[in-house]
Each structure stands twice: as C-alpha cells, then as structure tokens.
Amino acid sequence: MTTSVPALGIEAIDAARARLAHIVVETPLLPLELPGVDTRVFLKLENLQHGGSFKLRPAANAVLSLPPAERARGVFTASTGNLGIGMAWIAARLGIPADVVVRPGTPAAKLAALVRLGATVHEVSAGQWWEVVETRRFPALRGRYIDGAGDPEVIEGNATIGAEILDRCPEVDTVLVPFGAGALACGIAAACRARDRRVRVVACECDVAAPLAAARAAGRPVCIEPRPSFISGVGVATVLAPMWPWLETLIDASVVVPLADVAAAIRRLATQQHLIAEGAGAVPVAAALAGAGLGRHTVCVVSGANIDPGDLATILAGGIPGNGR
C-alpha cells in the first residue's frame, strides 16, 4: 500500500443515509437462481433508482453536503452519463444550475435524460473529457465540481448501498460490483468495514477495458487501450491515481468477463427477471453466471438501467451492438 486511506466511520455513513432518506429509493434484493451452484445469489437493484442508476446516491450526498451559498452557484461534473444524471436530478429538485461534460460515445439515452432533467451538456473530445476528470476544472464553468471518484461525500453516498445490503442480507460474504472508477466498490467495502464485517468485495470488469486487472497485475496504475463497445459505465484507460490506495486497501479481488457474457447477462435479466440493465450493471451478473468470484452468500450490484433502446433490442435478438466492436 502506497498511501494510508482514512477509515470511513459508521457515523458518516449513517449521516449520509439520513441525508438521502427522502431522496433515494432503498432498492430491493432479488434472488438470482443459479441451478447446480452451491451458493445463494441476490441482485441489488440499483437499476430501479431514480434516474436509473446508483449514481443518484453519491451525487445527491455531495450536492446536499455543500454550504447553501456554494450550492446555489451550481455544480458540474465530467461523466459518462449516470453521475451527470444523478447530479442533474438533485439539482433540478433544488433549483440550482447543473452542467455535465460528456465524452464521445455517451449513449443517446443518457444524453436525452440529461437534457430532460434540465442540465446543460458540454460535448468534448475524449482527451478534453479526461483532462476535466484529472484537473476538476472546465474553463467555461465556475460552479462546484462533483468528483465521481475522489470526493469523500461520494464514497459516503456509495457506502449507503453497502449498509442496505448488510441490513437486508446479514449473512452476505461476497459482493460483486461493477468497476468504473472504483468509488462504488470502495464505498461498499468501507461500509462493511465500518460495521466490522469481513465481506469480500470483488470488482468486475469487461475484457474490452480492464484497467483494474492491469493495475493489480502491475502493482500500480498503468495505461491500457480500451476497445469501444456498447458498455459506457465501465472501462476507462487507467485507474485514477487518487483511487489506487483505496483500491489496494479495500478491494479483495477482480474478475474480467467477456463482452458476449455481458450481453447474455442483459438478455437473461430482461427475459427471466423482467429487469432492464445497462452494460455496466450486467457485468457482475455475467461474472456470477460464469461462477466467477462467488461466495456462499453473494450479492451482485446491478448498478444501472440506462441502455439505449436500440442496443437493448439488438441484445434481445441475440446479437451484440456494434458486432462486439
């Protein structure tokens, strides 16, 4: 471990839960039947959250934690869609400005949701987008930047998911979580540690872009070359340096699944569980269906539902959007 990581106390998590009590949905756990497997698997349905993803929790907790005068000046973020949607949702409720910087390839369904919620959308190149992520600045904007990875309030918001899992499934020993920047997995792991529970947290990636697996193999963040796919919520080029100490400390393992398995998991969720999941949200389910990373009592976090209708139609017809490009 290169840098010490502050413990997230139960008081901070409880404060976040209280702050979000009338904002977020306490999403249910649904059993996932895996015949022939000696384990119980549940789905944590954050795809049923307001805005269609778990990102409302970290976004709302971060915005609501701001002093009122600072909050009134507005907020902005760089997002692949879902964090921006969560931020726009709470900003609309509070009546404050929200700006979202998006990169090429952001799904049309997510862009439409941002506009519908009243956010101002700034479409920039991939390089410009990554610069905003790293510097937390965008020349055209002067509001407060909401960092989807590095802000403590973001980790606290994500930790509320872990607290709910422990409340609903006290016997849980493993949680499979999609890996984007790592704040979701770290928040859930921190919630388990705050309650002195030894729960194995497994970060799940797709083989089109697996920066965490590469970093764990190298012992440090390294750059990879992501392949374009229909999955927008996971798969950046590298692990962010501020997140690496958290990930080294809190994440127990990582799993990488093929793109075809993610499409199959989306199809399975839609046809058998009657649930809509976007690519990132289905990655942990794909891992579970392959028997990867499972414990005796496993929870898969289905992180979001914001998939383009055309991509969903292709998957339901048995294909992979873009021919798996």
CATH (domain of 252)? 3.40.50.1100
pLDDT of the residue at 4: 53
Residue with tokens 């199809």: 267
Residue with tokens 């106390």: 9
Whether 80 and 46 map to the same domain: the answer is no
Q: What does each of the 325 residues of the chain score in pLDDT, given as a tens digit?
A: 344 566 788 999 999 999 999 999 999 999 998 888 889 999 999 999 999 999 999 999 999 999 999 999 999 999 988 999 999 999 999 999 999 999 988 888 899 999 999 999 999 998 999 899 889 999 888 789 999 887 899 999 999 999 999 999 999 999 999 999 999 999 999 999 999 999 999 999 999 999 999 999 999 999 999 999 999 877 788 998 889 999 999 999 999 999 999 999 999 999 999 999 999 999 999 999 999 999 999 999 999 999 999 999 999 999 999 854 4
Taking alpha carbons only, the member of 211, 304, 323, 209 closest to residue 266 is: 304
Boundary of a domain, candidates 129, 145, 161:
145
Boundary of a domain, candidates 145, 165, 186:
145
Domain extent for 47: 10-53+152-324
Domain count, the chain: 2
Whether 167 and 120 map to the same domain: the answer is no
What one-letter code names the amino acid at 243? M
Does 1 reside within a domain? no
Residue 196: CB partners within 8 Å, gap ≥ 6?
A: none
pLDDT of the residue at 142: 79
Residue 160 tokens, joined: 């509320």
Does 5 reside within a domain? no
Whether 67 and 94 map to the same domain: the answer is yes
Asked if residues 146 and 154 have their Cβ atoms less than 8 Å apart, the reply is: yes
Q: Any bridge partners for residue 122, and if so which?
A: 101
155, HSE (Cβ side, Cα atoms, 13 Å): 24
Does 256 reside within a domain? yes
Whether 129 and 158 map to the same domain: the answer is no
pTM above 0.85, yes or no: yes
CA-based torsion, 182, 240, 305, 292: positive or negative: negative
